[in-house]
Amino acid sequence: MAIFSVYVVNKAGGLIYQYDNYVPRAEAEKTFSYPLDLVLKIHDEKVVVSFGQRDGIRVGHALLSINGVDVNGKFTADGKEIIEYLKDSTNYPVSIRFGRARLSSNEKLMLASMFHSLFAIGSQLSPEVGSSGIEMLETDMFKLHCFQTLTGIKFIVLADPRQSGIDALLRKIYEIYSDFALKNPFYSLEMPIRCELFDQNLKGALEIAEKAGNFGPGS
């Protein structure tokens, strides 16, 4: 069981905090000879597989590294275009690592804003007034849990579907936010949270939740 990530979204839908606690990696690395027997394309400034599945490499997987060195979007570490680099037979044999594309900071901001809108739609679709909005979304791989405060701040946790104690964790995160962000004289409401004590206590709470699944008195 695992807790994957935490998001804090302000009442306007802006992402003010995000932490990746555990990111499972389904990655595959293979050494290729020339010519490359996979078809690659540029998608969202990343090089992804568009055709040819083999040895754990899937369509949609992004190219993550070449010869053990992480790539930068569609460019190699030394600034060369990856597609052109892989067309040159003198660069072979080459070791390439593929996996799920990592979310960029801009993508996380966009997804937080989209969830904010979905939350509002969920409230409006309710047959009764005063709906709490979306509290949980479930997939086969994870559950998204959301707790909204009276002031409109949303605390979102993505966790393994089998992980217990998430409701208690969400309220613990709210408590940490109140103690170490709101009481920080240098913190401005609705702005990104950059408080070391908040980070430390959040990580501690996630560790306790993963091990015990709940919080006892005084934790």
Give buried/exposed letters for 58-77 (b at 16+ CB in 10 A, else e): eeebbbbbbeeeebeebbbe
Average pLDDT, the chain: 89
CATH 2.30.42.40 location in the chain:
25-97
25-97 to CATH, choices 2.30.42.40, 3.40.50.300, 1.10.357.10, 1.10.540.10:
2.30.42.40
The whole-model pTM stands at: 0.75
Residue of 4, 29, 30 lying closest to 18 (CA atoms): 4
Cβ 35 vs Cβ 76: under 8 Å: no
CATH 3.30.450.70 location in the chain:
1-21+102-210
Q: In what order do the strands lie in the sheet with 154-159?
A: 15-20, 3-9, 154-159, 143-148, 136-138
Kindly tell me if the per-residue pLDDT of 65 is higher than 70: yes
Show the tokens assigned to 76. Answer: 């190699």
Confidence of residue 41 (pLDDT cuts 50, 70, 90): very high
The residues near 57 (Cβ < 8 Å, ≥ 6 apart) are 28, 30, 38, 49, 98
CATH domain 1-21+102-210 topology: Beta-Lactamase (3.30.450)
Kindly tell me if the per-residue pLDDT of 217 is higher than 80: no
120-155, pLDDT tens digit by residue? Answer: 898 888 888 777 789 999 998 899 999 999 999 999
pLDDT at 23: 66
Q: What is the mean pLDDT of residues 11-20?
A: 95
